[in-house]
Chains A and B, each alone.
Chain A
Amino acid sequence: MRNPANAALDAVDRRLMVATQAGLPRVSRPYDLLAAELGIDAAEVLTRLQRMLDSGVIRRIGAVPNHYAIGYTANGMSVWNVDDRRVDALGAQIGALDFVTHCYRRPRRMPQWPYNLFAMVHGPDRAEVEAKAARIALLLGDACAAHEVLYSTEILKKTGLRISG
């Protein structure tokens, strides 16, 4: 289990975050390059990255795909009103479906918002997203009282996360 108490970051960790927030250098020895930039040795870069992975400050080191460029232009946020006693077991199953990219439990906002399970579904068109939502509905069965799929129609703003050094 990840321990948030381990997550205390010092100034060097923060410099490492700032140095890598645009991405990891794409050279043969990327950690050596970061070490040279920060004025520490490469072993320390690796130790610090490992520590941040262990504490969860870094979720993972990897690639972030752009759904639109991959051809998944229909982006549906499916939201489900699922029995609180069963939502965690079912949420794990839905998160494991190959077409679900994000899956979370969130609070209801009654009376306006009865949905507690959010699953982002991507597809080349809405018909495909609807078909995938139908598979989720099947999996949830009688644990789900109602659902909707909210399609995005416009990106009003998209800036990455920015941390100041």
Chain B
Amino acid sequence: MHDAAALDDVDRRLINAMQGDFPLVAEPYRAVAEMLGLSETELLTRLDSLLARRVLTRFGPMFQIERAGGAFVLAAMVVADEDLARVSDQVNAFPEVAHNYRREHEFNMWFVLATATREGIPDAIARIEQATGLPVFAFPKEREYFVGMKLRA
């Protein structure tokens, strides 16, 4: 866990400015640096540092697997506390499971399935239900209103 205070104003402006619309030009870092009033070297140094400190988990193209024929689905299960370790191991063993969070609720296991084809989702759900003996509730996104993060700079 890093100290949130380790981010200065320039870092915050950089994070806000670099969440989208990265330019498709020969020297894109220079273009962004100029917009922020930094040198290209300083921008790259800060970006490296933010990634090394895991303030940013990634920098690059964000692929929407759905547009390439694949699919993502949020899914949830209701798992008894005494079964949680077993079910978690069984669910996590599926390579299609990208993230899995335990949450405080009757629906206490929430995971994201990512598959290379649309048909892969019902197939993975059926196999998870078979492996665990529990129903899987799928929550496909019907409409996206926003994805991103806005930091006060």
Contacts and interface: CB of A to CB of B under 8 A. Distances in A.
Interface of A: 2, 4, 7, 9, 17, 20-24, 26-32, 42, 46, 49-50, 52, 55-71, 73, 77, 88, 91-92, 94-96, 98, 100-107, 109, 112-113, 118, 124, 148, 150-164
A95 B143 CA distance: 11
Contacts of B104: 150-151, 153
A25 to B, nearest CB: 9
B35 interface: no
Majority DSSP secondary structure for residues of A touching B: mixed
Interface in B42-65: 44, 47-48, 50-51, 53-65
B61 A77 contact: no
A27 B82 CA distance: 50
Contact of B24 (A31, A59, A156): A31
Contact of B146 (A4, A60, A95, A106): A95
Nearest to A56: B67
Given A62-B22, A71-B4, 11 more contacts: A20-B61, A21-B60, A21-B63, A24-B61, A57-B68, A61-B21, A61-B24, A64-B56, A152-B103, A155-B101, A156-B91
Contacts of B137: 109, 112-113
Contacts, number: 236
A156 B86 CA distance: 12
A58 B63 contact: yes
Given A28-B29, A91-B145, A105-B141, A57 B63 contact: yes
- Using C-beta atoms within 8 Å of the partner chain, give the interface range for chain B: 35 or more
Contacts of B142: 104-107
B144 interface: yes
Contacts of A2: 67
Given A23-B58, A69-B53, A98 B152 contact: yes
Contacts of A22: 58, 60
A152 to B, nearest CB: 4
Contacts of A69: 1-2, 4, 53-55
Contact of A62 (B19, B55, B116, B141): B19
A62 B62 contact: yes
A110 B62 CA distance: 33
Contacts of B25: 46
B103 A95 contact: no
B144 to A, nearest CB: 5
A152 B102 contact: yes
A96 B10 CA distance: 23
A29 B58 CA distance: 18
